[in-house]
A and B are shown apart, each in its own frame.
Chain A
Amino acid sequence: MKSLRQQYSEAVMDGFDTIVIQMDRIRKAGLMLAESKCSGGRWMMYDRGYAMSLDTWTRGSNPCDNHIYRRNKKEFLDGDCLILGSYAADDPDDITVVEELRAKFSTRLITISPHRRPNNPRTAALLHTLADVAIDNGTDNFAGALEIEGVSGRILPHAREINLSLIQSIAAEYMQNMIDRGNPPTQFYMVHFPFFSDIQALMNQRIKKYGY
């Protein structure tokens, strides 16, 4: 019988394989994000708890031109492209965010979520069915937590690691698309490097000037 460590290792590697297998969708998502950006829309991100979004936003070396959707501000604009990450196929909160997005014109939605249908869905439509590009994180509503003899209940979820890797893969495609269009994205500098304040101030000027 496999140990939990072995199960966890395999589950993580299977998660990365899921990313590779869906590369067509990831490329499509990156292209759509670039098209939206070049049409005047914004790159928005949301996941409940912000575990995925905050590790991408203002993160050293990452592109500057992304925004976290703050639920209390309800700040979607026409033309926005949202990457919505979730640990569930049927979180009602996620559906509400989608509705808030679609209340604006010409919006686009990329979802990162489990596509596996839960036994008793909590929502009329599963999240990924509402997306323009839907990417399966390969887990389930337990966020990839595992079962093992000797433990009652599931243990060690790993969906955050997969969701984060998925959004970064999309970001990579987005960045290359923007470069190909003559719009190389502005990057955040690294806080632990010398001259951080000066160089980040320069990056802030750049993003203000170009918008990307």
Chain B
Amino acid sequence: MPEKPTRRVFLTTAAATGSGAVMTGCTTDMKVREESAFPDKIPEPLPKGLEYALTVRNMAEHIIAEDTAKIDHAVDICTKAVTEGKTVYYTIRGHNEAQCILETMPGRPSFLTPLHPWDSSVLKRGDVVISVRTNHCAEAIEHGAQAIGILMPFQPQKTQGQGIVHTSYDGPYMEDIADVCIWDRTPYTVGILDFDQLPWKSLSAHGALDGIILGLITAGTIDNLISLGIAVTPV
């Protein structure tokens, strides 16, 4: 059994591991579209605001480009549920508050139902739950619903920082239990940027990226339903 780390050792390890956990193509592979509105030359050194914007942009682009199959799968699950008269619930939130734009502005499709506060007792067999939380996915499955998981930094993750959760944690992991699991590309350090003189990465991005993943799944589902002649109404 490894010796319990001191705080200093832990922080050093977490910072080092976190740096490596940032996915390839985010901080080191800045793609700039060659359009007239874009800056002709990326300034050196890279301003931190620009570094943040390009990093998040790259993460979103990577999700759209590389997770097509997963999004397709999630779309199929949602489409099937709606056509069979089941409910598609979601629990994508901001900072644990009721802040999702889909509830504060018009434009949420009528088939997409917010489930806040979380109450798994309403779930029925065949329903779908889209959530950022592993426990929601697990409870959904227990109720016979299908789980579409969006893997955000605060959830235990097999591929990153598995040791960050309590050492006695042995599952479940969203990657294992969800019918579809889409990683939002943010590291378990939450923050995505390194700054000189700061002890850990700073500035989160999952709030935006998780919303974008939900939007992609919802958009694809709407496309399918329209093609099947099923009415979709924004509320």
Chain A positions near chain B (C-beta within 8 angstroms): 3-5, 7-9, 12-13, 16-17, 19-21, 23, 26-27, 30, 49-51, 54-55, 57-63, 87, 142-143, 145, 148-162, 164-165, 168-173, 175-176, 179, 184-185, 187, 189-195, 198-199
B14 contacts A by Cβ under 8 Å: yes
User: Closest 3 interchain pairs by CB?
Assistant: A61-B191, A145-B107, A150-B226
In the complex the two chains form, what is the Cα distance from A163 to B179 in whole Å?
31
Are B39's CB and A161's CB within 8 A?
no
> Which chain B residues (87-125) contact chain A, with CB distance < 8 Å?
94-95, 97, 99-102, 104-109
Contacts A12-B60, A193-B164 given; indicate if A63 touches B107 (C-beta within 8 A).
no
Contacts of B102 in A (CB 8 A): 157
Select one of B53, B165, B202, B223 contacting A16, CB under 8 A.
Answer: B53
Of chain A, the residue at the smallest CB distance from B6 is A195
Residue contact A8 to B107, C-beta cutoff 8 Å = no
**CB-defined A-B contacts under 8 Å, sample of 27:** A3-B220, A4-B226, A5-B219, A5-B223, A9-B64, A12-B212, A13-B60, A13-B61, A19-B53, A50-B97, A59-B207, A62-B202, A148-B226, A155-B108, A155-B234, A157-B107, A160-B211, A161-B208, A165-B205, A168-B204, A172-B51, A172-B203, A175-B48, A175-B195, A176-B47, A184-B197, A190-B200
- What is the bound-complex CA distance between A19 and B200, given in angstroms? 25
Query: In the bound complex, do residue B205 and residue A20 qualify as a contact, i.e. CB atoms below 8 Å apart?
Result: no
Inter-subunit contact A168/B203 (CB<8 Å): yes
| A194 with B166, Cβ < 8 A, contacts A5-B223, A158-B212 known | yes
Contact partner of B215 (CB less than 8 A), chosen from A8, A16, A189, is A8
Complex Cα gap A162–B198 (Å): 26
Given known contacts A30-B49, A165-B56, A187 and B164 CB-to-CB distance under 8 angstroms? no
How many angstroms between the C-alpha atoms of A5 and B71 in the bound complex? 10
Chain B residues, Cβ within 8 Å of A60: 153-154, 190-191, 204
Tell me, rounded to whole Å, the shortest Cβ–Cβ distance linking B113 to chain A.
15
Which of A13, A20, A143: most chain B CB closer than 10 A?
Answer: A20
